[in-house]
Structure 1
């Protein structure tokens, strides 16, 4: 499951779009989405650490994915590539 952190602010149209995009994409890629306000200590710290210039900021598994208007196409491509990678340590990696 993908851990998504969505850094948001009040009255942000791009934040509303990001929520809708994540809801659609979550139908195909299991994810847990945590909303963090940029007006909170945690939100400001995450934004500073990851270089989020403005809302919304999107972190995937703790890594910066982007900020501003969330591209559904880019997110789907990223997740499809991630799903296609072999998982380290899995039994499918063992050849005898």
Structure 2
């Protein structure tokens, strides 16, 4: 499975828990892999995204933030 999806998070982020569940659903439905990165482990990511988390990346590009738009993400994964 390719990890086409990345979820950028931070510890103790209440929105991140919901996004994590949504990403798991989307990845399972689409048959793709995904990974999660805590921005606190990467100074550049932390500086770029700060508190605007979670952020969803599709193929390394920002697809959305704060919540996973599941239907839109599934549609864009199919392209």
TM-score band, normalised by the shorter chain? 0.7 to 0.9
Q: Name the SS of the counterpart of 2:29 in structure 1.
A: coil
Indicate the structure whose relative CO is greater, using CA pairs within 8 Å and at least 6 residues apart: 2
Of the two, which has the highest radius of gyration?
Answer: 1
- What is the CA–CA distance in structure 1 between the aligned matches of 2:8 and 2:30, rounded to whole Å? 20
- Judging by fraction of residues, say which structure has more helix: 2
Match of 2:57 in 1: 59
Q: How many residues align?
A: 76
Pairwise mapping of residues 11-50 of structure 1 onto structure 2 (< 5 A)?
11-41=12-42, 44-46=43-45, 48=48
Does structure 2 retain, via aligned residues, the 8 Å contact 1:14–1:70? no
- What is the CA–CA distance in structure 2 between the aligned matches of 1:27 and 1:33, rounded to whole Å? 10
